[in-house]
Amino acid sequence: MRARTAASTLALVMGSVTSALAASGAREDNSGVFVWIFIGFCALIIVAQMVPAVLTMLGMAKGVKESFGEKAEVKSR
């Protein structure tokens, strides 16, 4: 009986609080087209810098793989 009373009290409190937690309206964003162009340009710069980095990492991985495949040759004098 005590758990049922606690659950009912909690439901009443949460039911009355929902209107206080609700947003008053949609968030107004005054970002124009120039802001979105600037953000797109920044993303383009980041992607342009990532492409050579990925290619370099792949080249290094390929070189490491090839170096482990070959046996080291010992030169005698």
Q: Each residue of 12-43: pLDDT tens digit?
A: 777 666 555 556 666 667 778 899 999 999 99
pTM for the predicted model, two decimal places: 0.44
φ/ψ region of 17 (left if φ > 0, alpha if ψ in -120 to 50, else beta) reads: alpha
CA 63 to chain centre: 31
Q: What is the pLDDT of residues 52-73, one digit of tens each?
A: 999 999 999 998 888 887 665 6
Q: What is the pLDDT of residue 70?
A: 65
Q: How far is residue 64's CA from residue 58's CA, in Å, rounded to a whole number?
A: 10
Element (H, E) at 33: helix 33-69
